[in-house]
Amino acid sequence: MAARSRKVVRKQDSIYALATPEGVSAISVIRVTGLSISKKFFNFLGIERKKPGVFLRKISLGDFSEKCLILYFKAPRSYTGEDVIEIQSHGNMVIVSEIFDVLENFGFREAQAGEFTKRGFLNNKFTIDEAESVAANVSAGSVEELRMLEDFRLGKVGHFFSNVTKKIEGLLVTIESQLDFSDEGAVGSISKNNIKKEIAVLKRDLDNFLRKYSPFQSEMMKKRVVLVGQPNVGKSSLFNSLVGGRVALVSNAPGTTRDVVRKNLFLKGVEITLEDTAGIRTGQVSEIEKMGMGLTNESYETSDLCLEVFEPKQKIKKKFKDSVLIINKSDLLKVHTKKNALYVSAKTGAGIEELRKLIYKYIKPDPKLSLVTERVYKAVVKANNSIETVRGDDIFEITAQQLRDALLELRYVYGNFSNEKILDRVFSKFCIGK
């Protein structure tokens, strides 16, 4: 890990936030952090500033009182490195809002997104990649995503940055000393050929990183699977079978589905959005049905997998390129003749499990794919773009400048965060309360 210098921030104001989702739940957790949480507040809670621990306390909220579990983590042994108090109340937003009023009256302010983690970072509780992996972990939508973020979470990415930064710094020192002392015989002498070799190794390391990792965007991980076909082939029925409930309307009247009906579901830890679309047919159709068909085409164009559904009495001829052939209503058939199709029955459930497996086969993430945050990924791209093999007499000067530029990009990720704006950009991606 590159050397970091972080100012330990003292005398910050005290902040609070709801750490659990809004709404009705078994409990709500409200977090408070600050280095100068007033003694009056400790008195109000009935706990002592010197004594961290877990306490059951009845706290007065004006017209009523609420029995709360209070967790007190004394600075610096807390998530933020400051005094942290967690108040666990019943999961009722009326109670939560009353507690917020009390906190405001004590002069605390509501935290901004990621402010708790930012304080933890500034107080050296963790490195920036650990902090970012907290955010990535919270927003990861599936087991697969968590697996892909493993290198990031385990600090392997930080390790890569540390190594590559050291390499660049070493090379830069050698080149700069050569430039400074070129008349007197270089201190750490390096030939033009060796520079080219060292640069090639560096580029290879950066290229390998960019090949191994992809930028993490939680939206990118969701796959879209669309059901298309003529009216009445059983798209809505299949949709309902797959999502396990009656979401789309089923009817033997053609043209029932007009808007695209969507539902998210998980297949072995991968989140997919399944879409039921308006049936495609020619002949006399209403204006609204035509609009529905337009949406079907849009859905198809942007999908990751298209399931084209037929029924046995139809002539089977695919209309959608790269679609997978599904023949529904297999209960009406004695033999299954088409080799390249999956036979299913939304009515009896036959073949539905196979259909799930087929979908997963198409959308499952590459097992070799690993993720890093977009910020980290972009920094490596920029560093990589800064460096290229140089020829000619200026090779020392130009390479030195390129290496300085690359270092700047890499340090931007792990280096000295004297620029508050960069920090705010990192932490604004967090949720409030984290």
Cβ atoms 387, 402 nearer than 8 A: yes
Nearer to ligand GDP, 246 or 404 (CB): 246
Based on CB atoms, which residue is closest to ligand GDP, 20 or 297? 297
Rounded Cα distance between 400 and 169, Å, is 10
270 lies in the binding site for ligand GDP (CB under 6 A): no
**DSSP characters over 188-219:** T---HHHHHHHHHHHHHHHHHHHHHEEEE-HH
d(CA 302, CA 284): 27
Work out how close the CB of 226 gets to ligand GDP at its nearest, in angstroms, rounded to a whole number: 13
**By the rule CB under 6 A, 296 interacts with ligand GDP:** no
To ligand GDP, the closest distance from the beta carbon of 152 in angstroms equals 42
Alpha carbons 53 and 203: distance in angstroms, whole number: 52
CB contact at 8 A, 257 and 249: yes
Q: Under the criterion CB under 6 A, does residue 252 sit at the interface with ligand GDP? A: yes
Site for ligand GDP in 308-367 (CB under 6 A): 328-329, 331-332, 345-347
* Residues contacting 357, CB < 8 A, separation 6+: none
CB atoms within 10 A of CB 167: 15
Among 34, 158, 231, 415, binds ligand GDP (CB under 6 A): 231
Tokens matching residue 295: 């949406």
Contact between 192 and 174 (Cβ < 8 Å): no
Give the whole-angstrom CA distance, residue 55 versus residue 61.
Answer: 18
Q: Which of 43, 65, 251, 286 binds ligand GDP (CB under 6 A)?
A: 251
One of 279, 292, 351, 433 touching ligand GDP (CB under 6 A): 279
CB of 271 to ligand GDP, least distance (A): 23
| Stretch of 115-123, 230-238, 401-409, 416-424 lying at the interface with ligand GDP (CB under 6 A) | 230-238
Round to whole Å and give the CA distance between 19 and 29: 5
Among 78, 257, 370, 386, binds ligand GDP (CB under 6 A): 257
Comparison of 251 and 302: residue with beta carbon closer to ligand GDP:
251
**What is the smallest separation between the CB atom of 295 and ligand GDP, expressed in angstroms?**
14
- Residue spans of alpha helices (H) in 93-234: 93-105, 115-122, 128-139, 143-148, 150-153, 156-180, 192-212, 218-221
Q: What phi, psi does 266 have (nearest 5°)?
A: -105, 135
Q: Smallest distance from the beta carbon of 280 to ligand GDP, in angstroms?
A: 10
| Shortest Å distance, C-beta 325 to ligand GDP | 15
Strand partners, 25: 91
Q: Does 424 bind ligand GDP (CB under 6 A)?
A: no
In the complex with ligand GDP, which residue's Cβ is closer, 304 or 331? 331
Of 412, 395, 387, 9, give the one whose Cα is nearest residue 202: 387
Classify 257 as helix, strand or coil: coil
Q: Which CB atom, from 214 or from 314, has the smaller least distance to ligand GDP? A: 314
Q: Does 262 bind ligand GDP (CB under 6 A)?
A: no
Interaction between residue 370 and ligand GDP (CB under 6 A): no
Total binding residues toward ligand GDP, as defined by CB under 6 A: 21
Backbone dihedral region for residue 155 (phi beyond 0: left; psi -120 to 50: alpha; all else: beta): left
Stretch binding ligand GDP (CB under 6 A), from 32-40, 66-74, 227-235, 296-304: 227-235
Binding residue for ligand GDP (CB under 6 A) from 14, 237, 323, 402?
237
- C-beta of 31 vs 235, nearer to ligand GDP: 235
Which residue in the block uniquely carries the two structure tokens 């191994």?
212
Smaller CB separation from ligand GDP, 278 or 383: 278
Q: Which is nearer to ligand GDP, 76 or 254 (CB)?
A: 254
How would you class 332 by CB atoms within 10 Å of its CB: exposed for 0-12, middle for 13-18, buried for 19 or more? exposed
Query: Is residue 233 part of the contact set for ligand GDP (CB under 6 A)?
Result: yes
Q: Does 234 bind ligand GDP (CB under 6 A)?
A: yes
C-alpha distances in Å from residue 410, one per residue of 157, 164, 301, 336, 424: 12, 9, 38, 59, 18
Contacting positions for ligand GDP (CB under 6 A): 229, 231-237, 250-252, 256-257, 279, 328-329, 331-332, 345-347
